[in-house]
Amino acid sequence: MFNSYTESLAVFFGINVLMAFSVYLPSSAGLISLGQGGFMAIGAYTSALLTAKDVPFALALAAGAAVAALIGVLVAAPAVRIRGIYLIIATLGFGEIVRILFINLEFAGGASGLSGIRPLTTLWYVVGVCFFVGLCLWRLRTLTLGRAILAVHEDETAAEAMGIKLLQTKLIAFGGGAAIAGLAGGLFAHYALFIDPEQFGFSRSAEAFLFVVLGGSGNPLGPVIGAAVVTLLPEVLRFLQDWRMSFFAVLLIGCAIWRPGGLVAARPPSRL
Amino acid sequence: MSDAPLLDVTGVGVTYGGYVALDDVSCRVVENSIHALIGPNGAGKTTLFNVVSGLVKPESGSLQFRERQYTGLRPDQILVMGIARNFQQVRLFPVLSVIENVMVGCHSRLPRTSFRDFVLGPLGRDKVDRLARERAAEMLDLVEYRGDTKAPPSQMTLVDQRRIEIARALASDPQLLLLDEPAAGMNPAEASQLSEIIRKIRGLGRTVLLVEHNTRMVFSLADEVTVLSAGKIIASGPPSAVKSDSAVVTAYLGNV
């Protein structure tokens, strides 16, 4: 049905969609993270080390997500008290700490990485996880938690005065984003079959952030479109050869000028 | 009902930098009354609201609600306890629709969404969502909001936005409702309609603490009036007594 090129493209697209979701969820509570690569690394290493011990794949993936979420909450508990640019810097620092931690973890392969990971990720696995996460995020909008997250984003003081627990809401949003990045990491590890700390560095985090900025953070479709453009467009533009990435850069600047809110506009409340 | 007041503010002091916003302020709000707080601009009325609702921590003094000390609680805990408020500058959530804004007010009184509700929600079978929607619609009805409930609040007039905000506060089922200048920007007809709504809210067994500059509205509506000036309480009592108090006339009302 697919040749190996389109299949790998589809798998990496799916993993990127998850990374985009992992930025989207905390960002809808006003928490911008530039450290999602770190959570992806935690999910990737946790699940890869577990499947090496013959733990079933689904369980290993869930464990990777859970460990990422736990660390996400631990990191966020002090970090969500700061806002805006300071939180971005804190998460950026976190991503670097995780990268350097894995370089120094001997049992995880250190700087030379972890190889011989079992090929357990299939395209349908990725599609299934993407749909599951996407549906949960879409559903969130009409739940009390989803409304609370948006209210916190809009006006913290008014949200708190209306009985919303600020810290708890932010921790759920941030921990949820970390869990999704952990899932993406687990799927990535069992498809790439080799992981090293450099794969989850700043460029990975920045890329995930870019998906959401480009696609728009108003609803879950935005990150999907953002991930699609960033993942697939460079492939489509191959005919431009050396000018490929330059064209891509121009396109991004164009988006910033003409669609500053992202490619997908926020769903207006009137349609709900 | 006991003789103890619903809200008992004792000796509250707040300073911003060197500026004394509230100086040893004490105030008792009787259950099921309409209690008005008046005074010139900068007298500290909004600061007192912020203290009572937990947005500002007082440096001294204590707060009691239903004879229970609550000084130092977070605003969300205070709301759950039964005190809700609006804001002088309307603070609705722009990305949420009118009805969703009011639904946020219900959050503290809603049960948890069950797994079944989570799955069946898209089929319109989310019980928690239905409960919140019904309650929100009821509150919008109570404040006589007649506009579109699914539009963003920014499309509404200021008067309607104030109504929505009161509905949002009421949705949390408060025993004490704090209204900060709800009639600001309203014409006389709208203000008297608002007076009726406030009486209706009191009729439901709730207590209203009201900051308002519209003195005609205050004196016709309130059971009790407290006058603040420069961070101090200068008079407190039934409207007829306060109206003729010489200190109040000098500081605020002027000679009519």
Q: For residue B171, what is the nearest residue in chain A, using CA coordinates?
A: A162
Q: In a 10 Å sphere around its CB, with 0-12 CB exposed, 13-18 middle and 19+ buried, how is residue A214 labelled?
A: buried
Domain of B44?
A: 1-71+209-256
Sequence-distant (≥ 6) Cβ neighbours of residue A145 within 8 angstroms? A169, A172, B113
Backbone dihedral region for residue B144 (phi beyond 0: left; psi -120 to 50: alpha; all else: beta): left
Which is higher by pLDDT, A196 or B215? Answer: A196
A154–B95 CB contact, under 8 Å: yes
Q: In angstroms, what separates the C-alpha of B77 from chain A's closest C-alpha?
A: 7
Spatial CA neighbour of B149 closest among A148, A272, A143: A272
pLDDT at A2: 67
Whether ipTM tops 0.95, in short, is no
pLDDT of residue A1: 54
- On whether residue B46 sits in a domain, the answer given is yes
Who wins on pLDDT, B54 or A80?
B54
What is the mean predicted confidence (pLDDT) over B105-121? Answer: 86
Give CA–CA dist A106/A118, Å, rounded.
Answer: 20
Determine the pLDDT at residue A224. Answer: 95
Range of the domain at A21: 4-200
Phi first, then psi: give them for residue B227, nearest 5 degrees: -110, 125
Residue B255 CB neighbours (<10 A): 5
pLDDT at res. B219: 92
Residue B221 to chain A, least CA–CA distance (Å): 26
% of chain A at pLDDT higher than 70: 96
Q: For residue A268, what pLDDT is reported?
A: 46
Q: Does A267 touch chain B (CB under 8 A)?
A: no
- All residues of chain B having their beta carbon less than 8 Å from the beta carbon of residue A149 are none
Q: Which residues of B touch A160 (CB under 8 A)?
A: 55, 74-76
Average pLDDT of every residue of chain A: 91
Mean per-residue pLDDT, B101-124: 87
CA distance to partner chain B, nearest, from residue A216 (Å):
14
Is A101 in CB contact (< 8 Å) with chain B? no
Inspect the interface and report whether the beta carbons of B107 and A139 lie closer than 8 Å. no
Q: Is residue A25 part of a domain?
A: yes
What are the tens digits of pLDDT across the range B47-92? Answer: 999 999 999 999 999 999 999 999 999 999 999 999 999 999 999 9
Evaluate whether residue A55 is within a structural domain: yes
Give me the residue label for tokens 């919303």. Answer: A164
Residue B9, domain CATH: 3.40.50.300
CB contacts, 8 Å: B169 with chain A? 162
What was the pLDDT predicted at B132? 94
| Inter-chain residue contact A139 with B121, CB threshold 8 Å | yes
Q: What is the pLDDT of residues B165-186, one digit of tens each?
A: 999 999 999 999 999 999 988 9
What is the per-residue pLDDT for B215?
Answer: 87
- Segment B126-134 shows an average pLDDT of 91
B117 in a structural domain: no
Tell me, what's the pLDDT at A267?
A: 54
Minimum mean pLDDT among A83-87, A147-151, B76-80: which range? A83-87
Q: Chain B within 8 Å of A81 (Cβ-Cβ)?
A: no
Minimum-distance CB partner of B74 among A139, A145, A160: A160
B2 vs A250, more confident: A250
> What is the rounded average pLDDT for all residues in chain B?
92
Position of tokens 């506060």? B169
The model's pLDDT over A110-122, given as tens digits with 9 standing for 90+, comes to 999 999 999 999 9
Those of residues 139-168 in A touching chain B at CB distance below 8 A are: 139, 142-145, 147-148, 150-151, 153-155, 157-166
Confidence of residue A270 (pLDDT cuts 50, 70, 90): very low
Q: How many domains does chain B have?
A: 1
Q: What is the pLDDT of residues A10-59, one digit of tens each?
A: 999 999 999 999 999 999 999 999 999 999 999 999 999 999 999 999 99
Binary contact (A150, B96; C-beta < 8 A): yes
Q: What is the pLDDT of residue A218?
A: 85
User: Which of A25-39, A59-73, A241-255, B122-136 has the lowest average pLDDT?
Assistant: A241-255
Region A51-76: mean pLDDT is 96
State residue B89 phi and psi, 5-degree precision.
-90, 115
Mutate to test the interface with B, among A137, A144, A167 (most CBs of B within 10 A): A144
Residue A83 within a domain = yes
The partner residue sitting opposite A147, judged by closest CB among B103, B108, B151, is: B103
| pLDDT the model gives residue A259 | 83
Residues of B with Cβ-Cβ distance to A165 under 8 angstroms: 76
What is the three-state SS of B219-236? Answer: HHHCCEEEEEECCEEEEE
The percentage of chain A sitting over the pLDDT mark of 90, rounded to a whole number, equals 72
pLDDT at residue A271, rounded to an integer: 40
Which residue among B75, B103, B132 places its CB closest to the CB of A161? B75
B232–chain A nearest CA distance, Å = 25
State residue A272's pLDDT score. 39
Name the residue facing A163 among B95, B107, B126 (closest C-beta).
B107
Among all chains, which residue has been given the structure tokens 């420069």?
Answer: B230
Judge whether B198 lies within some domain: no
Read off the pLDDT of residues A172-224 as tens digits, 9 standing for 90 and up.
999 999 999 999 999 999 999 999 999 999 999 999 999 998 898 888 999 99
- Angle among Cα B253, B254, B256 to the nearest 5 degrees reads 100
The pLDDT score that the predictor gives to residue B246 is: 85
Whole-number Å distance between alpha carbons of B44 and B57: 14
Which chain A residues are within 8 Å of B94, Cβ to Cβ? 154
Q: What are φ and ψ of residue B174, in 5° steps?
A: -80, 150
User: Is position A166 within any domain?
Assistant: yes
Q: Is the pLDDT of residue B256 over 60?
A: no
Within 10 angstroms of residue B193's Cβ, the number of other Cβ atoms is: 17
The total domain count for chain A is 1
Q: What pLDDT, on the 0 to 100 scale, is given for residue A26?
A: 95
- Asked which of A173-177, B111-115, B156-160 is least confident by mean pLDDT, the reply is B111-115
The larger pLDDT score, comparing residue A160 to residue B117, is at A160
- Among chain A residues, the shortest Cα distance to B97 is held by A269
Q: Which of B55, B112, B59 is nearest to B83 (CA)?
A: B55
Task: Kindly report, residue by residue over A130-140, the tens digit of the pLDDT.
Answer: 999 999 999 99
Instruction: Tell if the CB–CB gap between A154 and B96 is shorter than 8 Å.
Output: yes
pLDDT exceeds 70 at position B159 = yes
Chain A residue with minimum CA distance to B121: A139
